[in-house]
Structure 1
């Protein structure tokens, strides 16, 4: 499945979701509030941290990793916001970082949930620091009905940017 989205800070925009080359639901044009999303419009490091702490009041590393990916899914992330997001994430203990053998040129940051036997990873372009994908995997001991280990959710960014219409590409 491929998803393309154009979302304005007022929650208006367009979704194009395709499966096997055909547009499927929830594709469409949405009026103000129809695609409501918690945009982060501040870029100062302290203000970004404050917004993210509101999303994660218990300060859980798993929620921090998930929130990081959500911000990238919902909006274009300019360098100043990216800086604040990364610094906020760096404040959590229990995260791991490293390179991926099967993907040269990337760096991964992740968290292993020992209770749910689940790994969350954020994969970054080592050159630009931009998020290229998120991945959720079931590990040994997981109760998910999938082979172990197994990736059960992955999002990859092909393109991200600003455009003046909901019909163009960045």
Structure 2
């Protein structure tokens, strides 16, 4: 597999329309004028992804107060995402990218290291998109635990 191109600060965020847990489409460009945190994660209801989602849930009030909207994206089906939302009491949209087209366009799908092996999959990544739709922060291969706290410090939230 060819290396996945990565986004950098200043790049235009590739637009996407993905279904949420209710099957309703969410389009990134519809959120212009807002600051958006987009995070990509491998699979709902796994330990690391649950830790990360719950950290965003627990930080949502302060992020929203600072003007940030949070979107989580994985290849999971809307039905699986709905179960994840219900089980963990998540209060922000989770979006489904089953064909991984958004994840690939954002450089969040490709070769990665997992337990010392090279595998192909979702690269846990976080992006901050500014009000004009440009990448402000692009972080790849982030750790599930502690990442949201570091991001909040970086954003001054």
User: Structure 1 or 2: larger helix share?
Assistant: 2
TM-score (norm 1): 0.26
- Answer 1 or 2: higher relative contact order, Cα 8 Å, separation at least 6: 2
- Of structures 1 and 2, the larger Rg is shown by 1
